[in-house]
Structure 1
Amino acid sequence: MMLVGCGVNNKRTAEDNQLYNKSGNSINVAQHGENYNRNQQDNDLFGYVRQVKSPLPVGESHSTKPIQGINREQTADDIARILVMLPGIEDASVLVTDQEVLIAYLTNEKRSDERFEIADQVKKTAMNVVPRWYHVYVTDDPNLRQNVENIASMNARSTSKDKTVRDTVKLMLERSPQGRNLNNGENPNGEAIGEKNHHLDRTNYRQQFENKK
């Protein structure tokens, strides 16, 4: 019994030393034990899920349910599951903080117009899942996925959280299209047009595309 107990403890220690666990569904999440914490109660925690496209078995489907309160990790999982079902999306990492959604996704599209359309789909997908006050930022730059994963280890009380999110968002806006304006009063990320956003008011990439579509 002592040997068995030691083996279990060693296994748990090995798992706890890894920030992200991988399940049979190719989901990596920022917590230990399960795919995600369905009963997440700590409002300070962020939710992070990485989902890789894989064919669903015949007859199996996944549906999302209306979010009440908002379980950030459940929300990240819902968004990621939908994204990998979209054409052109092979891999999606979704981070849900207390007021932003950051999405790093993998696509084989290289042309600027194709990248723009996919970014628009990805952004709108997330907007349909989260509460309306959220801002959504997306990137197809694979080098920025690690930036998103680094934020997943933080929480709303982390002293460097705001600066880290701000710096990552700035890079996402500079390197990747964000899609069309949501409406006449909001830019592609859900920010009110004309108001100074605490992340970034203008980028070269945004100036290039915001009046194009």
Structure 2
Amino acid sequence: MKKTFIPAILLSGMVLGACAANEDHELAERNDGVYQESGNTLNRDDRNDLYNPSNNDTNYGFVREVKSPVPGDTAEIGKEDGINREKTAGMISKMVVALPNVHETSVVVTDAEVLISYKIDQADNKSRFETADQVKKTAMSVVPRWYHVYVSDDPALRQYVENIGSMDPYSADKNTAVQDTVRMMKESSPQGRPMSDLENENGETKEDRIKQSR
């Protein structure tokens, strides 16, 4: 009896151990996709899609977004499975248009800047400043930290932003178009608060501004 009883116990322990290992493996697989089901946080797969260096961009990313009267229902313009810059522009536009005072937005992501034109519901000075700060910080939370973000609620500049969206990094006049549009955006619209003691409202350092002036 003892010779048959001891192997039975060992066999039972082996089965239980295998089940526990299988459960641990399944738990690890579920945890590998942290934030996978979150609707408010960029999950790991999203960031891989946005910043995977193997996906070489050939165009700037441009998306225009209009606030939908139905919560959660957004109108996306652009390729669903577009290049990295376009996916980034799409994510920023969805987050920006969800802000309380923003009705519509156009977002361009270049290789170093994010340009955001948006339409607001309230246009007093305080609302304009606070909305600019929210829009700018929303974009900053998505792009790599070395990007600079420029925003504008001036409707006259929307077409400039959209024109840049039709360019690609190899357009002959793209640098001039971006620089001119950035200058007009900063002149006509608030940019919010400085990002840090060493960075201005657009995330530019002193060294960045020196390079831009050359």
Equivalent residue in structure 2 for 1:151, among 164, 179, 182 = 164
Equivalent residue in structure 1 for 2:136, among 113, 123, 127 = 123
> 1:93 aligned to 2:100?
no
Q: Supply the distance in 2 between the matched residues of 1:156 and 1:81 (Cα, whole angstroms).
A: 24
Q: Deviation digits for residues 155-196 of structure 1, max 9, x if unmatched?
A: 111110100000000000000000000010100101004653
Aligned-pair distance for 1:44?
A: 2.9
> 1:186 aligned to 2:199?
yes
Residue pair 1:135, 1:189 contacting (<8 A) in 2 also: yes
Residue pair 1:48, 1:96 contacting (<8 A) in 2 also: yes
The code of the aligned residue for 2:60 comes to F
Query: Which residue in 1 is equivalent to 2:178?
Result: 165
Query: Which residue in 1 is equivalent to 2:59?
Result: 45
**In structure 1, the residue corresponding to 2:102 is in which secondary structure?**
coil
Identity of aligned residues (%): 52
Q: Supply the distance in 1 between the matched residues of 2:108 and 2:145 (Cα, whole angstroms).
A: 16
Q: Supply the distance in 2 between the matched residues of 1:105 and 1:71 (Cα, whole angstroms).
A: 22
- Of 165-174 and 184-193, deviating more is 184-193
Q: How many residues align?
A: 155
> 1:104 aligned to 2:134?
no
Change (3 A) 1:153 1:139: same
Query: Which residue in 2 is equivalent to 1:30?
Result: none
Where structure 2 has 5 or more consecutive residues not aligned to the other structure, the ranges are: 1-49, 75-82
Where structure 1 has 5 or more consecutive residues not aligned to the other structure, the ranges are: 1-37, 62-69, 202-213
TM-score (norm 1): 0.67
Q: CA RMSD in A?
A: 2.5
Q: Supply the distance in 1 between the matched residues of 2:142 and 2:99 (Cα, whole angstroms).
A: 15
Q: Deviation digits for residues 60-104 of structure 1, max 9, x if unmatched?
A: 79xxxxxxxx80000000010111111010001000001100000
TM-score (norm 2): 0.66
**In structure 2, the residue corresponding to 1:167 is in which secondary structure?**
helix
Change (3 A) 1:194 1:46: closer
Change (3 A) 1:78 1:192: same
Structure 1 segments, 4+ long, off by >4 Å, are 197-201
Larger radius of gyration: 2
Q: Supply the distance in 1 between the matched residues of 2:68 and 2:58 (Cα, whole angstroms).
A: 32
Change (3 A) 1:57 1:111: closer
